[in-house]
Chain A
Amino acid sequence: MNLLGTWIAAGLTVAILSFLYRDNPFYKFAEHLFVGVSAGYWVIYIWAFDVKPMLIDEFLRQAGVEKWLLIIPAVFGVMMLMRWVPRTAWISRWPISFTVGIAAGLALTAQVQGYIIPQIQATLLPLVSIGKTTSETIARSFNNIMIFVGVVCALLFFYFSREHKGALKVGSKVGIIFLMIGFGASFGYTVMARISLLIGRLTFLLQVFGLR
């Protein structure tokens, strides 16, 4: 059974890689299969980890008010399915509004506390940081200055409420430099991550065909 699975995996890997030659029926087969199995997988995943434990199991386990409160998300869920009938499709706006309201409420509070404040805290570093040696002091201070200047200038670059003239122009120019280095580094890192995946797939194929 495992041998069959390995050959299926190898066949699908080759089918996807065949796109490097040109678009062909093998690639299209694997591509459509990927969409189908991924959709099925996520349906099972969401129902196994979200809906069943949070709604069905909890409804059976809880008692009193806690039990009946679970009716609210269940009703919202069913309202979402009203989109199937054109005449009642407008009802699906209610659960959508509910989810949008939660996201907005969390963005106002948890996002500020969990993301914005920690990011600002991590930027407000001592610009002169004393190390054990002179070179360490210079390196640490230089890095802290770079982070502080980089963050401030990157923010200035995205500040469009005033025309970029004078000091703002200088700041945004420095911001571009940081942004370009940042994008380049991110790009290089992403490429290498993809290359390592490719090496993994090629190693797998070599093992399957007994060449390694």
Chain B
Amino acid sequence: MKREVPIIITFLTGFLCVIAFFIPHPPLGDLQQRFLVWYAIVYGFTMVLGLDSLLKYNVKKITQRKEGWQYSYVLLFGLALVLVTGFQSWLKYGTPFELRSSFMYCYIHIIVPLQATMFALLAFFISSAAYRAFRARTFEATLLLVAAAIVMLGRVPIGKMIWSEIPVVSDWLLNIPQLAAKRGIQIGVYLGGVVMSLRIILGIERTYLT
């Protein structure tokens, strides 16, 4: 019961998705679309689980006075602020995403700057990691280093000042060799995904049940 039913559900759902793809007529025609909607609904409920986990972890941290417990108050405050403004805006305007709403105020003045600065900060860490990792010790490492340098120079005016063709070479690197490498990786990943899907549907792969 605990293992058999989930395996049967997986098999039936996966099998029906495949059948619906090959027989695009009623009653199976819109089954894939319907399943995607149901998937989104179930996903919405998992957000509640995530929220619960976040709350429990931080409340526990505060009650047990673990290191940095004061910051958990900040996290809970931020969470409560957005949830309260979200539901308040929802009730007031019919949608939380109304530009005049307090929810969008929080989004524009808190979430956007925090997110943008957090990602901007990564520029420094990527650069310092690259400085340590990108030593031209081997031929392959040199290729990586040169390709990265050309693409970086090709994106800024100084690159064009050094050599007018650098932006052209940079674009070529992105559009031809990078595309080929990326495509090779992607095809491999997708083929792996197809094999894994087949294993899951047939019940050979069961690790998701543990």
Taking beta carbons and an 8 Å cutoff, which residues of A are in contact with B? 1, 5-6, 8-10, 12-13, 16-17, 19-20, 28-44, 46-48, 50-51, 54-55, 69, 72-74, 76-78, 80-81, 83-84, 90, 93-113, 115-116, 119-120, 122-123, 143, 146-155, 157-158, 175-192, 194-195, 197-198, 200-201, 204
Is there contact, CB below 8 Å, between A116 and B200? Answer: no
Is B115 interfacial (CB-CB < 8 Å)?
yes
Which chain B residue shows the least CB distance to A95?
B42
B161 on the interface (CB 8 Å rule)?
no
| Residues in A whose Cβ lies below 8 Å from that of B75 | 32-33, 35-36
- CB-CB under 8 A for A29 and B71, given A195-B123, A201-B113: yes
Pairs A–B under 8 Å by Cβ, sample size 24: A6-B109, A16-B118, A33-B77, A36-B76, A44-B86, A44-B90, A93-B5, A99-B39, A104-B200, A112-B190, A155-B188, A158-B188, A179-B185, A180-B143, A183-B144, A185-B174, A186-B182, A187-B130, A188-B148, A192-B151, A192-B156, A197-B116, A197-B119, A198-B120
How far, in Å, is A51 (CB) from chain B's closest CB?
4
A30, A39, A107, A157: the one within 8 Å of B50 (CB): A39
Contacts A9-B109, A44-B86, A81-B49; A74 near B41 (Cβ below 8 A): yes
CB proximity of B9 to chain A, nearest CB, Å: 4
Write the chain B residue with the least CB distance to A154: B184
Q: Which positions in B face A, CB cutoff 8 Å?
A: 2, 5-7, 9-18, 21-22, 32, 34-52, 54, 68, 71-72, 74-83, 86-87, 90, 95-97, 103, 105-124, 126-127, 130, 140-141, 143-152, 155-156, 170, 173-174, 176-188, 190-191, 193-194, 196-198, 200-201, 208-209
A146-B176, A180-B144 in contact; A97/B6 too (CB < 8 A)? yes
Q: In the assembled complex, which residues on chain A have CB atoms less than 8 Å from the CB atom of B39?
A: 98-99, 102-103
Residues of B within 8 A of A204 (CB): 113
* B-side contacts of A38, CB under 8 Å: 111, 115
Determine whether the beta carbon of A116 is less than 8 Å from that of B12: no
A78 and B45 contacting across the interface, CB-CB below 8 Å: yes
**Contacting pair B180 A41 (CB below 8 A):** no
What residue of chain A has the Cβ atom nearest to residue B83's Cβ? A40
Residues on the B chain within 8 Å of A84, using CB: 49, 52
Question: Which residues from chain A contact B36 at a C-beta distance below 8 Å?
Answer: 102, 106
Are the C-beta atoms of A155 and B74 separated by less than 8 Å? no
Cβ-defined contact, B42 with A76, below 8 A = yes
Question: SS class of chain B's interface: helix, strand, loop or mixed?
Answer: helix
With A and B bound together, what is the CA distance between A204 and B120 in angstroms? 13
Please, which residues of chain B bring their CB within 8 A of the CB of A197?
116-117, 119-120, 123
Majority DSSP secondary structure for residues of A touching B:
helix
Report the separation of the CA atoms of residues A98 and B34 in the bound assembly, to the nearest whole angstrom.
13
Q: Are B127 and A191 in contact, with the CB atoms below 8 A?
A: yes
Q: Which residues on B sit within 8 Å (CB–CB) of A73?
A: 37-38, 41-42
B144–A187 touching, CB < 8 Å: yes
Q: A5-B109, A29-B74, A102-B17 are in contact. Are A182 and B51 (CB under 8 A)?
A: no
In the bound complex, do residue A180 and residue B140 qualify as a contact, i.e. CB atoms below 8 Å apart?
yes
Given A39-B51, A77-B45, CB of A97 within 8 Å of CB of B90: no
Known: A103-B197, A153-B184. A111 touches B190 (CB 8 A): yes
In the complex, how many angstroms separate the beta carbon of B179 from the nearest chain A beta carbon?
Answer: 7
